[in-house]
A and B are shown apart, each in its own frame.
Chain A
Amino acid sequence: MIRVLFFGPVAERIGANSIQVEYRQGMLLQELRDELAAFHSRAFEIVSLVALNGEHVRDMALPLADNSEVVFMSKFSGG
């Protein structure tokens, strides 16, 4: 399974803090994003940052491993 987390404004638009997505061999980060964005378009309008296993990632062509943790995030506003 892929664990997908949401925080702040994205979580509010999704209506959940996390969801589980079934892992498929060869699954790419971009594919996961596209699948979720199709169901949660309002939330993904404000997604501009992505973390994979706790690290910022820019390469959406990265393959996912089973049990990965992915976070789709809006711009930060701490401080």
Chain B
Amino acid sequence: MLAQVRIQYEDFSQDEEINALKSASKRMGGIGTFLGCARDFSEGRDVSEISFDAYGSMALSEMNKLRSDAIEKFDLLDARIVHRIGTVKGGDNIVFIAAGAERRVAALEACRWMIDELKQRVPIWKKEITPQGDAWVVPHP
């Protein structure tokens, strides 16, 4: 069984993550998911690849705290967070978040909250590689 919170180079399967989430409880009536993907165009430039750097130990620790905080705040039955590092191309998966709750509102709100918090709390940086050169991404609100 894959861990509920992971940082990994390889791609992930949304189906496997959702099945793992569902296996946590049969009381789960709603699952909210967020899939973040690599865009091949940004700030008016073509983007050929995106590479990630991470303070791995702290990033994993913060993602685990984030999951625990979300479970407590939204009374979730379970939650999963997977973030890729390394280099990805346009269209590739970057991050997957899933929140399972008895009702849909908690699942959807928790999912939105987790991706917003992840961007603030988890030490991961991405660099866009373009024909005009490389540039670290300035975070958007």
Contacting B at CB under 8 A, from A20-79, are: 49, 51, 54-56, 71, 73-79
Contact B123 A76 (CB under 8 A): yes
Is A15 close to B, CB under 8 A? Answer: no
Known A7-B55, A8-B53; judge A76-B124 contact (CB<8 A).
yes
Name the one of A12, A73, A79 contacting B136, with C-beta atoms under 8 angstroms.
A12
Q: Work out how many contacts link A and B, with CB atoms closer than 8 A.
A: 70
Any A CB within 8 A of the CB of B18: no
Contacts of B36 in A (CB 8 A): 79
Per DSSP, chain B at the interface is mixed
Interface size range on B against A:
20 to 34
A73 contacts B55, C-beta separation under 8 Å: yes
Q: How far is the CB of A26 from chain B (nearest CB, A)?
A: 26
- Knowing A7-B53, A8-B127, A12-B136 touch, does A76 contact B58 (C-beta < 8 A)? no
In the complex, chain B residues 39-63 whose Cβ is within 8 Å of any chain A Cβ: 52-55, 57-59, 61
Chain A residue with minimal CB distance to B58? Answer: A54
Known: A7-B54, A11-B53, A73-B55. A79 touches B123 (CB 8 A): no
Contact B58 A77 (CB under 8 A): no
| CB of B88 to closest CB in A, whole Å | 12
Q: B20 an interface residue at 8 Å Cβ cutoff?
A: no
> Which B residues touch A7, using CB under 8 A?
53-55, 123, 125
Residues of A within 8 A of B139 (CB): 75-77
User: Whole-angstrom distance between the alpha carbons of A69 and B119 in the complex?
Assistant: 23
Q: List 27 A-B contacts (CB under 8 A).
A: A7-B55, A7-B125, A8-B125, A8-B136, A51-B55, A51-B58, A54-B58, A54-B61, A55-B58, A71-B55, A71-B58, A71-B123, A75-B139, A76-B120, A76-B121, A77-B119, A77-B125, A77-B126, A77-B137, A77-B139, A78-B95, A78-B122, A78-B125, A78-B126, A79-B36, A79-B115, A79-B122
